[in-house]
Amino acid sequence: MERKLMTFENSLIKKYWPAEDKNSEGEIIPLLHIQVEAELDNSLQVGHLFKSMVRGLVKVNITHRDTGEAVIIPSATVKPFNVKQKKVKIGKGEDAAVVLVEFASMTIVTQLDTEGQLMKTLYPIFNREVALTVEDFQRDGVDTSEASITPDEGMMGSGTEGQPTADGISTDEIPDGPDF
């Protein structure tokens, strides 16, 4: 099965910061939030970001455009993102033109190592032009991009397929979303 990936050529890491979350057992998990602005070339990129966000885990590759230095994040999550427009000045002096450019403002979250090595690695490419590649997550050589998403048993209980949910809609009646 082919891995799906999308590259955003003109991206910028705006800021990044450590955070903490708790798992179901109450243990603290150190996280790193990376805020990125990625210039959009077409609507396929928005679709890929949306699918990546819904799927959960993705692999992220951040490459500095001038030096080729790369940071690979093997498993990360794309949080809900915004598509915005901003004015960009092209050229200099009187001949400069101002155009509207669409970009996605997103936060990528990954688990942080206890030494903060990922933060140290990101520093040289922080606030510089980078190419951001988002690709489907693979676990131990198994492509999870086409894996079916099943409800958590604790949420639905076992054997509830086809049974009405709290809002009266059967799980068999829920249509598939659009295929981007």
Question: Which pLDDT score, from 0 to 100, does residue 113 have?
Answer: 87
Return the higher-pLDDT residue of 86 and 107. 107
Question: Does the pLDDT value for residue 110 go beyond 90?
Answer: yes
Question: Does the pLDDT value for residue 32 go beyond 80?
Answer: yes
Question: Which pLDDT score, from 0 to 100, does residue 139 have?
Answer: 66
Q: Provide the percentage of residues in the chain whose pLDDT is more than 90.
A: 34
Question: Which pLDDT score, from 0 to 100, does residue 38 have?
Answer: 93
Mean pLDDT of 130-142: 78
How far apart CA 28 and CA 155 sit, in angstroms, is: 23
How far apart CA 163 and CA 148 sit, in angstroms, is: 19
Question: Does the pLDDT value for residue 1 go beyond 50?
Answer: no
Mean pLDDT of 25-36: 92
Q: Kindly indicate the confidence band of residue 31, based on its pLDDT and cuts at 50, 70 and 90.
A: very high
Share of the chain residues as helix, strand and coil, in percent rounded to the nearest 5: 15, 45, 35
How far apart CA 84 and CA 7 sit, in angstroms, is: 18
Question: Which pLDDT score, from 0 to 100, does residue 2 have?
Answer: 54
